[in-house]
Structure 1
Amino acid sequence: MSELLWPHYAAPSDLVAIEEVPLEARGLPASTYDLLARAARLWPDRTALTVLPDAERWRGPLRCTFADLLAGVHRYANVLHRFGVRRGAAVALMAPNCAELIPATLAAQLAGIAAPLNGALAPAHLTELLRRSGARVLVTAGPELAPDVWAKLPELAEALDAVLVLRPTAAVGDPAPLPRIDGVLIAYLADLARAEDASAFTGEPPRPGDLAAFFHTGGTTGIPKLAAHTHESEVANAWMIAANSILDGDAVIFAALPLFHVNALVVTLLAPLFKGQQVVWAGPLGYREPALYGEFWSIVEHYGIAAMSAVPTVYQVLAQCPIGTADISSLRYAMVGASPLPDAVRAAFEARSGVRLVEGYGLTEATCASVRSFPDAPRPAAVGQRMPYQWVKVVHPESGAELPAGRTGLLAIAGPTVFAGYVTGRDAQGRPVLDGLGKLVDGWLDTGDLARLDTDGFVHLAGRAKDLIIRGGHNIDPVVIEDALLAHPHVTGAGAVGRPDPHAGEVPVAYVTLAPEADTTEDELRQWAAERVPERAAAPKSVTVLAALPVTDVGKPYKLALRADATRLVVTEALAGQGAGIEVDAAVEDGSVLVSVTPGAGDLEAISAILDRYALRWTWSPATPGPVAS
């Protein structure tokens, strides 16, 4: 392969030499379509995709070559073009991973803009995301593939002109009949595509600066925002990942994260196209399918999996799964990110597999990956070194002044992967309107993450700025509590949050998960943390053991759920003795915790007086007469 395209990149010391050559001189493809076309030209008959129907049927996958993948993308893109999708138009995609979703996603980027959606979101959120994206065409899972997703279609149909339906991987038999909805064309995408030209796209191909995708940023804190990626940002980030010299063209990549997440798109779809690597895609549930874990090591052996990417909770489970007689020597690169990696999880997985976990860091607003580690150059407590042509700095949260090495502040990123902005609407010509919404300052992206840089430029994360616990005006970094608890030999996960307090505003509490057969108690863990946090104010008031810490659909920590639980518990305790039948519920609404109180036989004024002592949002339950309080 070209030395210009593929510099040596296996150690931190390689970064300087790589950046001596400007990125624009490396000859990267102009778009994700050009990246795919290049792969099909170089390796037409090589297997590109191996898609498992589900974990139990992993021996009977559907395979396609790079030439097949390009042909499928042409057909699907021509269908979209026939429905009026042009360069500035979005195509929504809402389905679990399947063989048809992969080319459909690339086709949406070829014909217009891909707007992947998490089908688990509430219909109201999905409707709003459709409105913001401007998508009038929806590619979605049919009743065979995901009945729960399909059931939401009637509530979304009013915003759509066409619904293109996907079937399960390796589906057999006749498809289920589709309903009729006035004014909306509903048809199976594969049926429509059979008549289309597989040799070329009939529309205008994308250019580097054109928008490629709208990715929503979550959905756990109210209606998520849509972050806009360009073709050049996705290609550049995919190249930075593919430039890893440890993995050559023979490496087989395992993919099990949903395609509505940037990791699945950039790490396990686009990056492998650069070197012609085969990707083995798990079934529609991916890492959320319990049966996968019992078969995982056999899958690694059978397909010769060389690299995988997952969140810490996945590695925690795999560390408990016996390998048996499976030969897993092919696995040599296991990436982990999205949340802090507990030492106990690292130690258990590495002892089980013999494979070193490699940490990384990224976010949707910087396309995907910005920081990586190196298996042969471990840096304890660091998530890694910045990737080539991306720049990082740590700034003061208030003044914005750059901080020296060793000081903790807000992490900022600049470079070719920084997103184009959030989609806030459409202009008079129907084109997307983008706005950084305060996240972009002179080309630098405010990540919202607290971090410090060491003297070698490695990034050490210190939690989310919005997760700070503010006790009587004193800022407490939850990471110091979590680190103290994770140092306990039986703790496999930890999350610290603020609990409302009538005197201090909030005080720290913690939630943990434990290794199997651990014999420690919650009080012992509280004392353990108190003895190890750097200041008395950070000692957690309580430690609660959970079977699992709450996470989002892609495995990121969901601390708002912990805040809601902590709030519910303290309010319930505060209202004890105020009367029979009092019920307290706490839920996340629009990014914050809302407490709902059913007063039962309690006195409304007395309950109100108690609740008003806390800095929290609260209301009477809908069945309770009286004014709404907050």
Structure 2
Amino acid sequence: MGGFATVADIEAFEATPLAERNLPESTYAAIRRTAEAYPDDIALIFFLQGTAYQQSVQFTYREWLGKLHQTANMLHDLGLRPGETVSYILPNLPQTYWTLYGGETAGIANPINPLLEPAGLAEIMNAAQTKILVTLAPFPRTDIWEKVASIADSVPSLQTILQVDIANYLHGVKRLAVGLMRLGKGKEKVRARVLDFDKTLARYPADRLISGRVIRPDDIASYFHTGGTTGAPKLAMHTHFNEVYDAWMGTVAVDVQRGERMYLGLPLFHNYGAIAVGLGAWIAGATLVMGTPQGFRGEGVIPNLWKIIDHYKVNSIGAVPTLFKALLNVPISDADLRSLQIAICGSAPLPVELARQFTAQTGVNILEGYGLTEGTSVSSVNPRRGEPRIGSIGLRYPYQEMRTAELDGERFVRFCAPNEIGTVIIRGPNVFPGYKDEFHNRGVFIDTGDGKGRWLNTGDLGYQDEDGFFWLTGRQKELIIRGGHNIDPRQIEEPMHRHPAVALAAAVGRPDPRVGELPVVYVELKPGATATPEELLAFAREHITEQAAVPKQIRIIEHMPLTAVGKIAKLPLTFEQVADVVNSELDSIQEIAHKSVEVLSDRRLGLLASVKVTAMPGVDKAALEQRIRQALGQYHFRVDLQMEG
């Protein structure tokens, strides 16, 4: 069995220079190489419904390369050139992958989260200067086309829209029913020409590229959206070699072999599913099993996942902690899981207790890894061989440096000693060249002065132990700072996850005029479990070892806010705490007749409370404004105060 169990294994692997590894020069060349070597192997299996997972379509590597050729040829013929952008707003479909890698072959691909609001979709496309958009045709229980149609004309660069029709995967009565359900829909008029993806695709050759393009390793392959504030989306640029290296190394690190079956349920607008799982599988000659357009969120997927793994003889599955938590509530029953060898977890910290419970139930170890979009996808992972170190993010990838450092703002001070907490920085072939908008590149890279190139400041805090394993302790911007004392949220969250009634816990800072911030914990209970805030607070006092980290209050909520890839979304919780503090201060001022408070994240000012106030009749507005500013000026957030009326 291959893979790496120790730093010594990694260093031995690195004895062969990366330049001698003969990696493909582009993502297209990577898929072509495997297709030419194993044309009749299965590249992808796709099923549309979790309740009918036995009904699937599959593509050999020969067919998969053919679809890639056709997509690239179609996009080229529609006017896409190197350096120009094709965006996609799609769920998980074979056409999504064709657009990603066909788009990278013809130009630059830009995945966009279909769950975003229309204004957000338009902002990303305008930032990317989208020329062609691939999106969903009208389909029951989806609103993607309606959102796209409402903002298409606000993207001046957009010339062509290609619609993917999910109904093409239906047959008989089901397809007829969908046709009847969408009668009269999809009639919205847009300036760009609108074409049917599959019908247009069929006109192009599958055996070659018609463009004659020669792709260089340092050509930009994609723009991945990583966040950013309103009006200023952050688009991370990936080169072809970034993606080829990271996908290749991901499968080498955990020893994925030709013919293995990897399950995909994560969204394809996120780098992990798109690159680490997808491209990684096809570089290794593995088979990707992709379930439903909604991925793990598809109807019937979670209740049937053990049966799905049994049916398709899946060998590995990549997911986020919320998925593994959900699976603990699904009986294995008579499903045969002997094929399942590893589970890989990323995108969010894995609670130690959750990992232990999953292994106890399934006999399968969860290998926690770490990565970020700016590092293409993955930078470290626990070894497949031996016992994983639960709570660690594993060993660094070969050919990529990974250290912890003491930083003074954006200035490098020194590297940290073993077990000393610092900022995680990385340098290597997976580190992106920067964001598309130069504005966002401020403070992203660190110069250590060694003359060997810049390092990426990940913004994550952690340490490296004596054996080379990395452990995260939090993020710089997530730290709760109480009276000058830094509190890592995980000091609070990990103990709370051990409470038998707690499903999810998230600690954030509540602004406080005296000590800066006080820790507050939001808790989602397990289905059917009961607990009061008082009971949970007593548990916290008993199990949180650092007194300063004991939460000031605990709030039980029905559903923890999550991002589209299953991470806990802490920003809405922080916004709620800031709004609560502002409202409390304003409620104590009797001269206020009416108020409204909105909290947002400003790209230059950071956390911003937008406050509108109307004074009671006869009140001196100037004096009231001064009093409000004094009250709110005690806190670390910025305030935009407007006196109305």
* TM-score computed with the length of structure 2 as normaliser: 0.88
Q: CA deviation at 1:286?
A: 1.0
Aligned amino acid, residue 332 of structure 2: I
Q: Which residue of 2 is the match for residue 496 of structure 1?
A: 507
Q: Which of 405, 422, 439 is 1:409 aligned to?
A: 422
Report the aligned-residue RMSD. 2.7
Give the SS at the match of 2:233. coil
> Following the alignment from structure 1 to structure 2, what is the Cα–Cα distance between the partners of residues 589 and 435?
15
Q: Which residue of 2 is the match for residue 438 of structure 1?
A: 443
> Following the alignment from structure 2 to structure 1, what is the Cα–Cα distance between the partners of residues 614 and 360?
53
1:390 matched to 2:378? The reply is no
- Counterparts of 1:163-182 in structure 2, within 5 Å, are 163-168=161-166, 170-172=169-171, 179=187, 181=189
> Following the alignment from structure 2 to structure 1, what is the Cα–Cα distance between the partners of residues 18 and 377?
18
Q: Contact 2:461–2:475 (CA<8 Å) still a contact in 1? A: yes
Q: CA deviation at 1:333?
A: 0.9
Q: Contact 1:338–1:361 (CA<8 Å) still a contact in 2? A: yes
Q: Which residue of 2 is the match for residue 594 of structure 1?
A: 609
> Following the alignment from structure 1 to structure 2, what is the Cα–Cα distance between the partners of residues 566 and 327?
47
When residues 559 and 452 of structure 1 are mapped into structure 2, their CA distance, relative to the original with a 3 A threshold, is same
Q: Which of 378, 384, 391 is 1:381 aligned to?
A: 391
> Following the alignment from structure 1 to structure 2, what is the Cα–Cα distance between the partners of residues 582 and 104?
51
Q: CA deviation at 1:411?
A: 0.4
1:233 matched to 2:227? The reply is no
Q: Which residue of 1 is the match for residue 497 of structure 2?
A: 486
Q: Which moved more, 1:134-143 or 1:580-589?
A: 580-589
Q: Which moved more, 1:26-35 or 1:312-321?
A: 26-35
1:88 matched to 2:83? The reply is yes
- Counterparts of 1:299-314 in structure 2, within 5 Å, are 299-314=308-323
Aligned amino acid, residue 445 of structure 2: L
Residues 227-259 of structure 1 show CA distances to partners (whole Å, capped at 9, x for unaligned) of: 111111111111111114643222111101111
> Following the alignment from structure 2 to structure 1, what is the Cα–Cα distance between the partners of residues 41 and 439?
39
- Counterparts of 1:70-109 in structure 2, within 5 Å, are 70-109=65-104
- Counterparts of 1:398-547 in structure 2, within 5 Å, are 398=408, 399-400=411-412, 401-424=414-437, 436-441=441-446, 442-547=453-558
Give the SS at the match of 1:330. coil
When residues 167 and 393 of structure 1 are mapped into structure 2, their CA distance, relative to the original with a 3 A threshold, is same
1:68 matched to 2:63? The reply is yes
Give the SS at the match of 1:131. helix
When residues 110 and 384 of structure 1 are mapped into structure 2, their CA distance, relative to the original with a 3 A threshold, is same
1:184 matched to 2:202? The reply is no
Q: Which of 194, 217, 227 is 2:202 aligned to?
A: 194
Give the SS at the match of 1:393. strand
> Following the alignment from structure 1 to structure 2, what is the Cα–Cα distance between the partners of residues 387 and 212?
22
Q: CA deviation at 1:305?
A: 0.9
Q: Which residue of 1 is the match for residue 301 of structure 2?
A: 292
Q: CA deviation at 1:379?
A: 1.7
Q: Contact 1:567–1:586 (CA<8 Å) still a contact in 2? A: no
When residues 59 and 537 of structure 1 are mapped into structure 2, their CA distance, relative to the original with a 3 A threshold, is same
Q: Which residue of 1 is the match for residue 450 of structure 2?
A: none
Aligned amino acid, residue 616 of structure 1: F
1:57 matched to 2:52? The reply is yes
Residues 400-451 of structure 1 show CA distances to partners (whole Å, capped at 9, x for unaligned) of: 2211111111100011000011002xxxxxxxx7974321233210001011
Q: Which of 2, 8, 19 is 2:2 aligned to?
A: 8
Q: Contact 1:62–1:99 (CA<8 Å) still a contact in 2? A: no
> Following the alignment from structure 2 to structure 1, what is the Cα–Cα distance between the partners of residues 230 and 364?
35
> Following the alignment from structure 1 to structure 2, what is the Cα–Cα distance between the partners of residues 547 and 344?
22
Q: Which residue of 2 is the match for residue 363 of structure 1?
A: 372
Q: CA deviation at 1:392?
A: 0.6
Q: CA deviation at 1:381?
A: 2.6
Q: Contact 1:564–1:593 (CA<8 Å) still a contact in 2? A: no
Aligned amino acid, residue 391 of structure 1: E
Aligned amino acid, residue 476 of structure 1: I
Residues 95-142 of structure 1 show CA distances to partners (whole Å, capped at 9, x for unaligned) of: 111122121211001101111111222333322222222221111111
Q: Which residue of 1 is the match for residue 360 of structure 2?
A: 351
Q: Which of 542, 555, 558 is 2:569 aligned to?
A: 558
Q: Contact 1:91–1:136 (CA<8 Å) still a contact in 2? A: yes
Q: Contact 1:125–1:223 (CA<8 Å) still a contact in 2? A: no
- Counterparts of 1:196-215 in structure 2, within 5 Å, are 196-203=204-211, 204-215=213-224
Give the SS at the match of 2:389. coil
Q: CA deviation at 1:145?
A: 7.2
When residues 419 and 146 of structure 1 are mapped into structure 2, their CA distance, relative to the original with a 3 A threshold, is farther
When residues 240 and 165 of structure 1 are mapped into structure 2, their CA distance, relative to the original with a 3 A threshold, is same
Q: CA deviation at 1:182?
A: 6.1
Q: Which residue of 1 is the match for residue 349 of structure 2?
A: 340
Q: Which moved more, 1:437-446 or 1:587-596?
A: 587-596
Unaligned runs of 5+ in 1: 1-6, 425-432
Q: CA deviation at 1:608?
A: 6.2
Q: Which residue of 1 is the match for residue 637 of structure 2?
A: 616
> Following the alignment from structure 2 to structure 1, what is the Cα–Cα distance between the partners of residues 377 and 147?
29
Give the SS at the match of 1:9. coil
Give the SS at the match of 1:298. helix
When residues 221 and 521 of structure 1 are mapped into structure 2, their CA distance, relative to the original with a 3 A threshold, is farther
Task: Give the share of equivalent positions with the same residue, in percent.
Answer: 35
When residues 261 and 110 of structure 1 are mapped into structure 2, their CA distance, relative to the original with a 3 A threshold, is same
Q: Which moved more, 1:579-588 or 1:468-477?
A: 579-588
> Following the alignment from structure 1 to structure 2, what is the Cα–Cα distance between the partners of residues 145 and 413?
45
Q: CA deviation at 1:325?
A: 1.0
The number of residues matched between the two structures is 610
Q: CA deviation at 1:157?
A: 3.0
Q: Contact 1:53–1:283 (CA<8 Å) still a contact in 2? A: yes
1:111 matched to 2:102? The reply is no
> Following the alignment from structure 2 to structure 1, what is the Cα–Cα distance between the partners of residues 281 and 219?
22
1:253 matched to 2:249? The reply is no
Q: Which residue of 2 is the match for residue 277 of structure 1?
A: 286
When residues 546 and 314 of structure 1 are mapped into structure 2, their CA distance, relative to the original with a 3 A threshold, is same
> Following the alignment from structure 2 to structure 1, what is the Cα–Cα distance between the partners of residues 500 and 383?
26
> Following the alignment from structure 1 to structure 2, what is the Cα–Cα distance between the partners of residues 282 and 307?
14
When residues 320 and 593 of structure 1 are mapped into structure 2, their CA distance, relative to the original with a 3 A threshold, is farther
Q: Contact 2:122–2:154 (CA<8 Å) still a contact in 1? A: no
Aligned amino acid, residue 118 of structure 2: P
Aligned amino acid, residue 609 of structure 2: L
Q: Which residue of 1 is the match for residue 115 of structure 2?
A: 120
Q: Contact 2:497–2:503 (CA<8 Å) still a contact in 1? A: yes
When residues 534 and 222 of structure 1 are mapped into structure 2, their CA distance, relative to the original with a 3 A threshold, is farther
Q: CA deviation at 1:295?
A: 1.2
When residues 614 and 158 of structure 1 are mapped into structure 2, their CA distance, relative to the original with a 3 A threshold, is closer
> Following the alignment from structure 2 to structure 1, what is the Cα–Cα distance between the partners of residues 310 and 546?
48
When residues 140 and 60 of structure 1 are mapped into structure 2, their CA distance, relative to the original with a 3 A threshold, is same
When residues 456 and 578 of structure 1 are mapped into structure 2, their CA distance, relative to the original with a 3 A threshold, is same
Unaligned runs of 5+ in 2: 447-452
> Following the alignment from structure 2 to structure 1, what is the Cα–Cα distance between the partners of residues 387 and 349?
19
1:267 matched to 2:267? The reply is no
